[in-house]
Amino acid sequence: MNSIKIMVNGLPGNMAQLVIEKAMDDQRFEVTPFSLTGPEIEETSVQIKNKKIALIKPDQKDSFLSGHDTLMTSTIAVDYTHPSAVDLNCQWYCENNLHFVIGTTGGNRKRINENVQNSEICAVVAPNMGKQIVGFQAMIEYAAKTFPGLFDGYTIEIRESHQLGKADSSGTARSLVPLFQDLGLSVQEKDIFMERNPKIQHKQLGVPKSFLGGHAWHTYSLTSKDQNVSFQFTHNVNGRSIYALGTLDAVQFLHHKILEGNNAGQVYTMIDVLKGL
């Protein structure tokens, strides 16, 4: 069994923890017992199932690496660290030849990409690791480019529901607005209807109680001028498992690319992952 070694950074954060749990259930992967953490974290390790994972603070990174250089040459890093730490971590991966996957929206993307391009490694850098969501965005983008004005004369309503704490509107919904415009629909970012009331979310929309604190539900409703034709596209995500699973598929993709060789400086996107798996 040729399992892929991954070092999941960002413990004790929720996403890092979830990626590790999914990886431990997946025989494609072997989780290394180390994780980069923040300077403010007091724990020195985190227990996940039967595995104890040591936390490495920023000032311990280099000494850690020199003690594990053989281990790390064949390891892929997964970065779910704090947005304030992302840039320095990615720079560190590049300097120390650690291929990596990063799937958050934090950090300076331009700088991260440049660091990879000037390095000996390759990486997957994506704002969203939800494979099927990214695929849906790509479908709409394809339609907008190939059939501009397809929905001329139609109206559109965009509704999304997220946990109470989320102040701005859905980034996924906003990314689709210009595409819907190209399809002939009159819509602006400000027209996105945001539901943040947990009572309405549960009783009217049907969001399960256990996911009121973490969900991303979206519905796009298109209606013809004479009201006789309606299209509706819905994608409802509860919790974060879709992103953890997508992250692991991105790791597998990167592993294949590394085995193929000749990938120094390559930055891959989630679309590459979708096409390549």
162 catalytic residue (yes or no): yes
Residue pair 183/218 in contact by the 8 Å Cβ criterion: no
CB of 159 to its own copies, least distance (A): 13
Count of Cβ atoms closer than 10 Å to residue 45 Cβ: 15
Q: Starting at the earlier edge strand, list the strands of the sheet with 45-48.
A: 34-36, 51-56, 45-48
Region near its own copies per CB under 8 A, out of 3-11, 77-85, 193-201, 228-236: 228-236
Q: Is 233 in the site for its own copies (CB under 8 A)?
A: yes
Per-residue buried b or exposed e for 46-71, using 16+ beta carbons within 10 Å of the residue's own CB: bebeeeebbbbeeeebeeebeeeeee
Q: Binding its own copies by CB under 8 A: which of 52, 111, 203, 275? A: 275
The active-site residue, picked from 22, 99, 131, 162, is 162
Bridge partners of 161?
195, 217
Binding mask 147-176 for its own copies (x = CB under 8 A): x-xxx--x----------------------
Q: Is 135 in the site for its own copies (CB under 8 A)?
A: yes
Angstrom distances, CA of residue 184 to CA of 15, 113, 223, 254: 38, 34, 12, 38
The residue assigned the tokens 């009783």 is 203
Binding mask 44-63 for its own copies (x = CB under 8 A): --------------------
Residues found near its own copies in the complex (CB under 8 A): 130-132, 135-136, 138-140, 142-143, 146-147, 149-151, 154, 211, 222, 224, 226, 228-239, 241-242, 274-275, 277
Annotated active-site positions, please? 162, 166
